């Protein structure tokens, strides 16, 4: 960890705890800052706040009093707290810098960082890169949304490490100097507009991953996504492209049924274990990142011939009576679900629904050709049932939750079918996280006979 003086004797407000706030507060305390922590959960119920108070930090819980901004020179906020929050809105007026802990991680890191963002596929791509680097015996550390809080990982990393970091738009929006050695954006699609307000602001937040790069850095770019190409053009990193649609002179692409990087054949597509055509995009992006990090082709091949995917992302659960069950709970938007549906040719029983963010689902209709039955749940059930009618799906059933959905799917499926939980919605109307939603489904499937 670099010993920096950026925060020494500075008054820093950490807004919101959870894992990232707790880690940021601990780190800032080590760096000599005067830290005040503010969280809505009352102190008597807040173990993290109690721990920090015992360390000597100032802790304010239960509300966001405006006097917290008095004397504040810096704010480190939980990524999930929107900038429309009254305290943050006032801080912006006062021109107090507001960052997320990813910025702290970059400032203290001795290691090079690979940053991965995009609307879909981040977790799979991050995991692939990490596993490929480990396969090549490199000192890879995984961080961000997928693993340990980035600033905790950066504390432990040395100059021989590589920190592979999954980054959300929420995290990137709160960066100022963050500059990954390799920055990668997979795609851009409408998401989190309830947080960002407009697609333009969402795209701007994502583009932060490229913004500070210099000529000695690498920007890995999806050549098939015009918005990603535009976002990368704003930075100065060397552009390395990947494409699933066309052969490229350099970068990663598909040719003659194989994955290539520059002029080197990496692997035949038929040898890749990870299911779904959409995962080729993730694989090509990962190949770019690890090749730029010096990984050998054999290390990449070892992973691609064994890696079956990550939990809650097109995760195969089991086969019952000739029906295959898949958990794709991490599909929290239309694009993710459309890609999941394209992964299968068999008749599909689709389980979908969740938090209503105000959008309609008409964009899903072209991908419902193989869906024989739709089982809905959550706030968006009526909207999904409407598009089922438009798509000509005759069998539709509404249930209360994913556990009931699993039981309904069991009774409505037959040999050769796919049962796919791919909600196309966030989970927060019924579940704390998409992981909790997926775990409930998986547990229900294992009870089926």
Q: Check if the beta carbon of residue 363 is closer than 8 Å to that of residue 338.
A: yes
Three-state DSSP class for residue 315: strand
Determine the Cα–Cα distance for residues 179 and 209; give it in Å rounded to an integer: 7
The tokens for 305 are 């011939």
Q: Please enumerate in sequence order all residues whose Cβ is within 8 A of that of 68, keeping only pairs 6 or more positions apart, or say none.
A: 13, 36, 38, 60, 87
Q: Check if the beta carbon of residue 355 is closer than 8 Å to that of residue 193.
A: no
Determine the Cα–Cα distance for residues 310 and 308; give it in Å rounded to an integer: 7
Cβ-based neighbour number of residue 249 at 10 Å: 8
397 is in an annotated binding site: no
118 is in an annotated binding site: yes
State phi, psi for 212 to the nearest 5 degrees: -100, 5
Strands 323-327 and 348-352: unpaired
Handedness of CA 365, 368, 372, 375 (dihedral sign): negative
122 is in an annotated binding site: yes
Cβ-based neighbour number of residue 227 at 10 Å: 17
Determine the Cα–Cα distance for residues 113 and 173; give it in Å rounded to an integer: 17
Three-state DSSP class for residue 58: strand
Closest CA to 359 of 329, 374, 380, 378: 380
305 is in an annotated binding site: no
Determine the Cα–Cα distance for residues 188 and 172; give it in Å rounded to an integer: 14
119 is in an annotated binding site: yes
Q: Check if the beta carbon of residue 114 is closer than 8 Å to that of residue 140.
A: no
State phi, psi for 203 to the nearest 5 degrees: -65, -40
Query: Phi-psi category of 384—alpha, beta or left, where left has phi over 0 and alpha has psi -120 to 50?
Result: alpha
Determine the Cα–Cα distance for residues 176 and 46; give it in Å rounded to an integer: 30
* 171-173-174-180 Cα dihedral, nearest 10 degrees: 70
State phi, psi for 437 to the nearest 5 degrees: -60, -50
Residues across the chain: 449
Q: Which residues are annotated as a binding site for ATP?
A: 118-124
Q: Which residues are annotated as a binding site?
A: 118-124
């Amino acid at each position: 960890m670099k010993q920096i003086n950026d925060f020494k004797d500075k008054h820093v407000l950490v807004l919101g705890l959870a894992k990232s706030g707790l880690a940021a507060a601990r780190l800032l305390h080590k760096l000599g800052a005067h830290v005040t922590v503010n969280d809505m959960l009352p102190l008597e119920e807040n173990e993290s706040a109690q721990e920090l108070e015992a360390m000597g930090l100032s802790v304010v819980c239960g509300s966001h009093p405006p006097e917290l901004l008095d004397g504040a020179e810096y704010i480190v906020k939980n990524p999930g707290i929107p900038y429309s929050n009254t305290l943050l809105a006032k801080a912006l007026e006062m021109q107090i810098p507001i960052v997320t802990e990813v910025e702290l991680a970059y400032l203290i890191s001795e290691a090079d960082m690979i940053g991965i963002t995009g609307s879909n596929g981040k977790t799979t791509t991050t995991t692939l890169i990490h596993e490929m680097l480990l396969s090549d015996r490199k000192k890879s550390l995984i961080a961000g949304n997928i693993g340990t809080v980035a600033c905790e990982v950066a504390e432990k990393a040395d100059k021989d490490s590589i920190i592979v970091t999954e980054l959300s738009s929420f995290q990137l929006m709160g960066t100022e100097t963050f500059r990954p050695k390799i920055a990668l954006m997979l795609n851009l699609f409408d998401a989190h507009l309830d947080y960002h307000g407009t697609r333009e602001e969402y795209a701007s937040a994502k583009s932060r991953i490229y913004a500070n790069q210099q000529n000695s850095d690498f920007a890995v770019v999806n050549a098939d996504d015009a918005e990603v190409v535009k976002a990368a053009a704003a930075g100065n990193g060397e552009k390395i492209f990947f494409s699933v649609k066309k052969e490229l002179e350099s970068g990663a692409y598909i040719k003659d049924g194989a994955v290539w990087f520059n002029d080197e054949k990496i692997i035949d597509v038929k040898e890749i274990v990870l299911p779904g055509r959409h995962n080729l995009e993730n694989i090509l992006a990962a190949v770019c990142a690890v090749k730029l990090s010096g990984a050998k082709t054999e290390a990449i091949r070892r992973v691609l011939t064994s890696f079956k995917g990550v939990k809650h992302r097109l995760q195969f659960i089991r086969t019952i009576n000739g029906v295959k069950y898949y958990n794709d709970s991490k599909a929290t938007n239309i694009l993710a679900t459309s890609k999941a549906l394209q992964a299968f040719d068999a008749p599909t029983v689709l389980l979908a629904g969740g938090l209503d963010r105000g959008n309609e689902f008409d964009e899903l209709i072209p991908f419902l050709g193989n869906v024989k039955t739709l089982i809905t749940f959550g706030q968006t059930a009526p909207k999904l049932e409407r598009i089922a009618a438009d798509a000509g799906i005759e069998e539709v059933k509404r249930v209360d939750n994913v556990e009931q959905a699993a039981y309904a799917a069991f009774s409505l499926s037959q040999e050769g079918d796919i049962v796919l939980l791919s909600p196309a919605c966030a989970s927060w109307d019924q579940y704390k996280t998409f992981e909790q939603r997926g775990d409930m489904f998986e547990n229900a499937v294992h009870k089926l006979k």
